[in-house]
């Protein structure tokens, strides 16, 4: 009897919770209302069966409760009941899956006039590429990946020269134009997800995954990685800014092309007399260092850079080392050579040129510590 009542409370509570929950989805900002519709269908079908099955259990537990002198009859086979159950289950499952199949077929079949957007995932950062005036993306291959060419674009492919390279984690898109996303990964399984667009796709290393959407609301939306891809996974975030065509074109003009980045790899960073720490800050962003290292003293996967310079670090083996320019450069070049006490030895080896190394060390130094000089964040 108590069990029947408890089940009844769970059923009523679940339905009420669904209706009054504050955790509704974010407002839709793309053409994919169908994604919301399929979710609603799934909730309706599973919700219906959840309520019916549990109420049936409540009824039987109450109706056939133990009474002195009564014996249960044993009737294991009922062809009629089985036919009904198979029939209803089949209709329910078809109703659950069929709309999703139709939506998915649309989702991976972009309109032919779609703007191309390449998304490249790497532990633990995002990079982007957009076509130039020709509207084409040049070829890429893992063997071309280097510090100066992090996307691994084919230097000999003429179609790639005017491609817009975005080495930060924020990309802009024009309002109301279909976008075909081509997603690649440099290392492990990632998943590019922008919740308000209701659009996401797994990114499998070694292949290009694709889907499309049309942004329908201007705004700055957070994009995130939706596959557990290592310790830096929760920090693998970025932004997609949706704006009108004029603002988008203006933003596009400010971004370097692949050819520019090859001519002068520092073209992506600000120039000037005190450029080194600023360049290091841009590198810390584009190389993904900031996924694990904070500059405000808060704990991260790796040591915070606030006050790191000039500090004496203790290693796992008990030895100590002064954090100076040489230490930082050594550590970035060869992160596995020694392990700092209190941190897992998981820092990935990143490709950096000598100039980039100097810029990074100078930026880390500028974040304070014994002999650090302050720099504007
Ligand atoms: Cu990339 Cu999680």
347 neighbors 293 (Cβ within 8 angstroms) = no
Given pLDDT bands bounded at 50, 70 and 90, which one contains residue 179?
A: very high
> For the stretch 281-297, what's the b/e string if a residue is b when 16 or more beta carbons lie within 10 angstroms of its beta carbon?
bbbbbbbbbbbbbbbee
Residues listed for the chain: 377
From the alpha carbon of 230, which atom of ligand 1 is closest? 2
Q: What is the mean pLDDT of residues 245-261?
A: 90
pLDDT greater than 90 at residue 184: yes
Question: From the CA of 171, how far away is ligand 1's center (Å)?
Answer: 18
From the alpha carbon of 228, which atom of ligand 1 is closest? 2
The CA distance from 241 to 248, in Å, is 9
Average pLDDT, the chain: 87
171 neighbors 241 (Cβ within 8 angstroms) = yes
Alpha helices in the chain (DSSP H): 2-20, 33-63, 79-107, 245-254, 258-263, 275-286, 325-333, 354-366
Strand 170-174 to 199-203 pairing: unpaired
Sequence-distant (≥ 6) Cβ neighbours of residue 230 within 8 angstroms: 123, 124, 188, 346
Question: Which pLDDT belongs to residue 118?
Answer: 95
Comparing CA positions, the residue from 350, 375, 168, 353 lying closest to residue 276 is 375
Comparing CA positions, the residue from 294, 295, 262 lying closest to residue 146 is 262
206 neighbors 275 (Cβ within 8 angstroms) = no
Question: Which pLDDT belongs to residue 66?
Answer: 86
Residue with tokens 């005017």: 162
pLDDT greater than 50 at residue 371: no
For ligand 1, atom 1: residue with the closest CA: 190
- Tens-digit pLDDT profile for residues 117-157: 999 998 888 999 999 888 889 888 888 887 778 888 988 88
pLDDT greater than 50 at residue 372: no
Percent of the chain exceeding pLDDT 70 equals 94
Question: Which pLDDT belongs to residue 264?
Answer: 62
Say how many C-beta atoms besides its own lie within 10 A of residue 141's C-beta.
10
- Tens-digit pLDDT profile for residues 196-221: 999 999 999 999 999 999 999 999 99
Question: From the CA of 27, how far away is ligand 1's center (Å)?
Answer: 24
- Tens-digit pLDDT profile for residues 6-63: 999 999 999 999 999 988 888 999 999 999 999 999 999 899 999 999 999 999 999 9
Question: Which pLDDT belongs to residue 376?
Answer: 42
Question: From the CA of 121, how far away is ligand 1's center (Å)?
Answer: 8
Least confident of 195-199, 282-286, 320-324: 282-286
Question: Which pLDDT belongs to residue 17?
Answer: 93
24 neighbors 208 (Cβ within 8 angstroms) = no
61: left (phi over 0), alpha (psi -120 to 50) or beta: alpha
Question: From the CA of 165, how far away is ligand 1's center (Å)?
Answer: 21
Question: From the CA of 205, how far away is ligand 1's center (Å)?
Answer: 12
> What are the beta bridge partners of residue 173?
242
The CA distance from 342 to 146, in Å, is 31
Question: Which pLDDT belongs to residue 272?
Answer: 57
CA 317 to chain centre: 36
Given pLDDT bands bounded at 50, 70 and 90, which one contains residue 263?
A: confident
Question: From the CA of 287, how far away is ligand 1's center (Å)?
Answer: 15
Comparing CA positions, the residue from 294, 308, 289, 278 lying closest to residue 349 is 289
Beta-strand ranges (E) seen in 123-236 are 125-130, 164-166, 170-174, 179-185, 190-194, 199-203, 209-213, 219-225
From the alpha carbon of 121, which atom of ligand 1 is closest? 1
Question: From the CA of 200, how far away is ligand 1's center (Å)?
Answer: 12
Which residues line ligand 1 at a C-beta cut-off of 6 Å?
A: 121, 190, 225, 227-229, 233, 236
From the alpha carbon of 188, which atom of ligand 1 is closest? 1
Q: How many CA atoms lie within 13 A of 159 on its CB side?
A: 9
From the alpha carbon of 236, which atom of ligand 1 is closest? 1
Q: How many CA atoms lie within 13 A of 176 on its CB side?
A: 3
Q: What is the mean pLDDT of residues 154-183?
A: 91
**Quick one: tokens of 87?**
């029939």
SS3 content of the chain, % helix, strand, coil (to 5): 40, 20, 40
Question: From the CA of 282, how far away is ligand 1's center (Å)?
Answer: 21
From the alpha carbon of 123, which atom of ligand 1 is closest? 1
From the alpha carbon of 189, which atom of ligand 1 is closest? 1
The CA distance from 150 to 127, in Å, is 9
- Higher-pLDDT residue of 263, 196: 196
């Amino acid at each position: 009897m108590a069990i029947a009542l408890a089940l009844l409370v769970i059923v009523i509570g679940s339905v009420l919770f669904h209706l009054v929950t504050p955790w509704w989805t974010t407002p839709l900002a793309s053409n994919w209302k169908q994604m919301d519709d399929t979710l609603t269908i799934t909730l309706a079908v599973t919700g219906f069966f959840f309520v019916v099955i549990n109420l049936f259990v409540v009824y039987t537990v109450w109706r056939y409760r133990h009474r002195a002198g009564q014996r249960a009859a044993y009737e294991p086979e009922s062809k009629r009941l089985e036919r009904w159950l198979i029939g209803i289950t089949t209709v329910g499952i078809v109703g659950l899956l069929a709309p999703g199949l139709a939506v998915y077929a649309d989702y991976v079949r972009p309109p032919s006039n779609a703007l191309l957007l390449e998304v490249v995932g790497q532990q633990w950062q995002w990079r982007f590429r957009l076509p130039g005036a020709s509207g084409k993306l040049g070829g890429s291959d893992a063997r071309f990946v280097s510090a100066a060419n992090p996307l691994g674009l084919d230097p000999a492919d003429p179609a790639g020269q005017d491609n817009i390279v975005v080495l930060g984690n924020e990309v802009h898109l024009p309002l109301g134009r279909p976008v075909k996303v081509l997603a690649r990964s440099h290392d492990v399984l990632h998943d590019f997800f922008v919740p308000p667009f209701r659009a996401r796709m797994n990114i499998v290393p070694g292949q290009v995954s694709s889907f499309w959407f049309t942004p329908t609301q201007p705004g700055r939306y957070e994009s995130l990685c939706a596959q557990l891809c290592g310790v830096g996974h929760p920090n693998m975030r970025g932004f997609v800014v949706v704006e009108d065509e004029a603002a988008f074109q203006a933003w596009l003009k400010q971004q370097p092309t692949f050819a520019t980045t090859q001519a002068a790899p520092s073209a992506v960073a600000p120039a000037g007399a005190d450029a080194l720490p600023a360049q290091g800050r841009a590198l810390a962003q584009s190389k993904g260092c900031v996924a694990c290292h904070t500059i405000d003293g808060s704990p991260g996967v790796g040591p915070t850079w606030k006050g790191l310079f000039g500090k004496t670090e203790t290693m796992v083996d008990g030895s100590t080392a002064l954090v100076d320019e040489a230490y930082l450069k050594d550590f970035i070049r060869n992160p596995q050579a020694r392990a700092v006490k209190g941190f897992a030895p998981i820092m990935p080896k990143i490709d950096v040129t000598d100039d980039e190394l100097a810029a990074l060390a100078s930026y880390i130094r500028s974040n304070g510590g014994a002999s650090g000089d302050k720099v504007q964040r």
